[in-house]
Amino acid sequence: MKDPTPRDRSSDWRERWLALRNGVLASPRFQRLAAAFPLTRPIARARTRALFDIVAGFVYSQILLACVQLKVFDLLADGPLSVAALAARTGLSEDAARRLLAAAATLDLTEKCGDDRFALGRHGAALRGNAGLPDMIAHHALFYRDLADPVALLRGEADTELGRFWAYAGRGAPGSLPPEAVASYSRLMAATQGFVAEEVLAAAPLAGRRCLLDVGGGEGAFLSAVAARHPGLSLMLFDLPAVAERARQTFAAAGLADRVTVRAGDFRTDPLPTGADIVSLVRILHDHDEDTVRTLLAAVRRALPAGGRVMVAEPMSGAPGAAPLGEAYFGFYLLAMGRGRPRTPGVLCGLLTAAGFHRPRLVTTRNPVILQMVIADA
């Protein structure tokens, strides 16, 4: 069937070029020649390795998950250990422990250092320095099960684990969620907010601001980090009633109860509290569809005074050097979750403009792989 989508001349030439290129690359004869010819052999080998890494990616992720579940990185934190010692502490046989540690070494998670001894590898050491990452990696066991049949997931035929975990995603009235339904995802968000907060606060335009409202602020991990960094800033948090109650307990335990005002509600139906001159949306918009995002941004605009500002911080499509993270990883994660999509900074700027904000612009963050930031003025 002919594709009815209209094409301009440049697109037509590009498609012809792609057809020619792909025909050549798919030719077994060309592949044999490329692998044999000295000048093209390194390219052919690199392409073969890249393709095999895609095929084997699930295995690599399961090796990482096994290391996290068995606390291998914690066990190696004080220095190298023998395979026998690691086997005893993880409950594996020596053969199984050796197999896991050797596999992890090829991924730079561990590093062999002598006869049957292993230390932390570069990635393993870096992982230990990022509190919350082990929690996120362990959480991915749900995502892996949802991806067992990717075609069923794409067709909407799967009853997903992530959809049940993120309880608000599949509820028509998330404001009625009981405390037990929000506990698991609230704890995960709090555990993984540390490295996110560092990135946001390194770029956040908070100088000269009087009061920050964090919408969808969860248990308050981000605002707790803000409180430590900006002692003169008044703070407000808005989230679902059951989540807001958890935030109140967090702030009380941290001695911040008098400094942070917590309000409960559903931002899809309830007005946001007024009084703030800057609003943060940290890892919020990409969880929702376009209609909900438009509703939320309009509510933020109504809550802000003239001269106020909104900042959107989340992983975005098109991040420099991280294209697969946006479209491949988050695209499918949010599909399994049940709603939402990764968006480019340009799309977010358009949504902000449509909501009545001015001068939407991208703010450079230290690590765009983790998140990017778009801000706009009221």
- pLDDT value of residue 92: 96
Give Cα 368 distance to the centre of its chain: 11
- Which phi and psi angles does 81 have, rounded to 5°? -135, 155
3-state secondary structure 18-52: HHHHHHHHCCHHHHHHHHHCCCCHHHHHHHHHHHH
Distances (CA, A) of 94 to 100, 336, 374: 10, 37, 51
353 phi-psi bin (left φ>0, alpha ψ -120 to 50, beta other):
alpha
* Euclidean distance between CA atoms 64 and 138, whole angstroms: 9
* Euclidean distance between CA atoms 269 and 291, whole angstroms: 12
3-state secondary structure 234-246: EEEEEECHHHHHH
* Euclidean distance between CA atoms 136 and 123, whole angstroms: 15
- pLDDT value of residue 192: 82
pTM of the model: 0.82
Contact 232, 208 (CB under 8 A): no
SS3 content of the chain, % helix, strand, coil (to 5): 55, 15, 35
Written as one string, the DSSP assignment of 305-372 is PTT-EEEEEE--TT-TT-HHIIIIIIHHHHHHHTS-----HHHHHHHHHHTT-EEEEEE--S-TTT-E
Profile the chain (378 residues) by mean pLDDT over runs of 10 residues. 61 74 68 68 72 85 95 94 96 96 96 91 89 87 93 91 82 71 82 86 92 95 94 95 94 94 94 96 93 96 96 89 80 90 94 97 89 95
Written as one string, the DSSP assignment of 199-242 is HHHHH---TT--EEEEET-TTSHHHHHHHHH-TT-EEEEEE-HH
User: Residues 232, 250, 252, CA angle at the centre, nearest 5°?
Assistant: 70
pLDDT in tens, 7-48: 666 778 777 766 766 676 667 776 676 667 677 677 767 777
Residue 281 has what DSSP assignment? E
Residues in the chain: 378
- pLDDT value of residue 221: 92
Contact 215, 188 (CB under 8 A): no
Structure tokens at 325: 């993270």
Q: Which residue's structure tokens are 């020596």?
A: 94
Cα-atom radius of gyration of the chain, to the nearest Å?
A: 24
Burial 329-341 (b: 16+ CB within 10 A, else e): ebebbbbbbbebb
Q: Which residue's structure tokens are 């919408």?
A: 215
- pLDDT value of residue 45: 75
